[in-house]
Amino acid sequence: AGARPLAGQHVLVSAGPTREALDPVRYLTNHSSGRMGYALAAAAAHAGAHVCLVSGPTTLAVPAGVRRVDVQSAADMHAAVMAEIEAADVFIGAAAVADYRPADIATDKIKKSDGDAEIRLVRTRDIIADVARDYPRVFTLGFAAETTDMEAAARDKRARKGLTMIAGNVVGPNDAFGRDDNALFVVDAAGAQYYERDTKAALAERLIAQIAERLADKTGQ
Ligand code: PMT
């Protein structure tokens, strides 16, 4: 405990969007800026942890004391997380990972034709669900980004993915994505609590303090 409650712990964080290529010049993505994940990486480093940040494309600077691994696609992010997970005690999935990617990536730029076009999408692998299944000793904090029924969806995602903790947030044009503030609905085995609207930095510090407490309970410190 004390000022550096995560001293000696290894924390792996995913952040930002993924880019799923259609051809050499086009991709599918989402509005994640990476801010929530970067704030968590910074807070974990501040708490004394060794922090690795697996990041999709963002414009953010690497937080002090954090090692960053840059990725583009969901498949890249899956591989990078799996390459780092052996050393991790905590995995925080704040990235907005694409659930689907184009079935085919064209080698050359797709030409315009007179007719309409269709894109066939196939599922990507779920990174945090794979971590929870294959590394049950790792403390997993997932996020649930929802536009409706956020609380129920957050509880459901925590159960379905087998996560230790989940933080639900409402996303939309005026919420969560890109902004400096957010509000969270945090659920773990002990119950649910609201983190009222605050800066992502303050919310991240609260989440990291909560994780440190849970780890200390487990090891009886
Ligand atoms: O980046 P910001 O602009 O600061 O915005 C923050 C945020 C809204 C992106 C962030 O707070 C957030 O909610 N991140 C998760 C976004 C998301 O993809 O949520 P989801 O409900 O689709 O996914 C649930 C969980 O599964 C997440 O922890 C996600 O990282 C994980 N996941 C999802 C799909 C996949 N293939 N692999 C995953 O690991």
- ipTM score assigned to the predicted complex: 0.99
Residue 4 lies in a domain: no
Catalytic positions are 30
204 touches ligand 1 (CB under 6 Å)? no
Instruction: Count Cβ atoms within 10 A of the Cβ of residue 66 and give its class: 0-12 exposed, 13-18 middle, 19 or more buried.
Output: buried
Rounded distance, CA 98 to CA 103, Å?
A: 13
Residue 1 lies in a domain: no
127 touches ligand 1 (CB under 6 Å)? yes
Determine the structural domain holding residue 96 and report its residue range.
10-109+117-219
Residue 156 lies in a domain: yes
Strands (E), the chain: 10-15, 20-23, 26-28, 50-55, 66-70, 90-93, 100-102, 121-123, 139-146, 165-170, 181-188, 191-199
Residue 182 pLDDT more than 70? Answer: yes
If one counts the domains in the chain, the total is 1
Residue 52 lies in a domain: yes
Is residue 111 a known part of a binding site?
no
Look at residue 220 in the predicted model and tell me its pLDDT.
66
**Mean pLDDT rounded to a whole number for the chain:** 96
Residue 78 pLDDT more than 60? Answer: yes
Residue 175 lies in a domain: yes
Look at residue 159 in the predicted model and tell me its pLDDT.
98
Residue 73 lies in a domain: yes
Is residue 112 a known part of a binding site?
no
Residue 12 pLDDT more than 60? Answer: yes
Task: With CA atoms as reference, report the closest residue to 81 among 43, 138, 160, 36.
Answer: 138
Say which amino acid occupies 74: A
Ligand 1 atom closest to residue 182's alpha carbon, by position in its atom list: 11
Look at residue 221 in the predicted model and tell me its pLDDT.
57
Atom 21 of ligand 1, residue of closest alpha carbon: 144
19 touches ligand 1 (CB under 6 Å)? no
Average pLDDT over residues 55-63: 98
Look at residue 128 in the predicted model and tell me its pLDDT.
98
138 three-state secondary structure: coil
Ligand 1 atom closest to residue 39's alpha carbon, by position in its atom list: 4
Q: 63 alpha carbon to ligand 1 midpoint, in Å?
A: 20
74 touches ligand 1 (CB under 6 Å)? yes
Place 174 in a pLDDT band, splitting at 50, 70 and 90: confident
Residue 3 lies in a domain: no
The CATH number of residue 93's host domain is 3.40.50.10300
